[in-house]
Amino acid sequence: MAEMVLFHHAQGLTPGVVAFADEVREAGHTVHTPDLFDGRTFGSIEEGMAYATQLGFPGEILRRGAEAVSGLPAELVYAGFSLGVLPAQQLAQTRPGARGALLCYSCVPVTEFGAAWPADVPVQVHGMDADPIFVGEGDIDAARDLVAQAKHAELFLYPGDQHYFADSSLPTYDPEATALLLQRTLDLLRAP
């Protein structure tokens, strides 16, 4: 069984993020859900991003992500939902021993954290095909570039325009897309 770290999105460590982690745990995997916001949650992406900016985005978010895994084994799968993709992607690219990466609703250019994606680290990127943030702000382009250069990489697009589609505690929740995301996550975790 795999060990995964799941970093939350800009609205914080919501019950929906925890519920997704619990689904992965029920399949027998270990999942850590560090709280980068010290227990604070927010009613909108804008409020959460304002708080992240106040903390020192992106530097402080990346620092907190690295700190959250400092006592964990190196052999982790790094997962992130939107804002949480930043520490997940950085750690998957730079921390030796990474077993995989799951990037949901976001992707940054690989060059942000190094010259290339590590050849032995499988990665999945998930987003909705009409999400104004994922598609409209260029994350899909970074995801396509990552898939083109990485040895074991997949981009999964879901029909719809919601950003946080796998958070069951938010009105943007899409149960059908989430079920597929969960299945693909478990496939990634079962990979050798």
Residue pLDDT tens, the chain, 192 long: 999 999 999 999 999 999 999 999 999 999 999 999 999 999 999 999 999 999 999 999 999 999 999 999 999 999 999 999 999 999 999 999 999 999 999 999 999 998 789 999 999 999 999 999 999 999 999 999 999 999 999 999 999 999 999 999 999 999 999 999 999 999 999 986
Question: What range defines the domain where residue 174 resides?
Answer: 3-190
Q: What's the pLDDT at 191?
A: 82
For residue 104, give both structure tokens. Answer: 């949901």
Q: Cα(116)–Cα(109) distance, rounded to whole angstroms?
A: 10
Task: Give me the residues paired with residue 101 across strands.
Answer: 78, 123
Q: What's the pLDDT at 65?
A: 98
Q: What's the pLDDT at 114?
A: 86
Smallest CA-to-CA distance from 77 within 154, 1, 127, 2 is with 2
Q: Domain count of the chain?
A: 1
Q: What's the pLDDT at 115?
A: 78
Report helix angle 15-26 to 175-190, nearest 10: 50
Q: Is 11 exposed, middle or buried (CB count within 10 Å of its CB: 0-12, 13-18, 19+)?
A: buried
Element (H, E) at 94: helix 85-94
pTM: 0.97
Which domain CATH number covers 25? 3.40.50.1820
Q: Cα(77)–Cα(35) distance, rounded to whole angstroms?
A: 17
- Provide the strand spans (E) within 74-160: 77-81, 100-104, 123-128, 153-158
In three-state secondary structure terms, 111 is helix
Q: Contact at 8 Å (CB) between 107 and 138?
A: no
In three-state secondary structure terms, 192 is coil
For residue 55, give both structure tokens. Answer: 């903390």
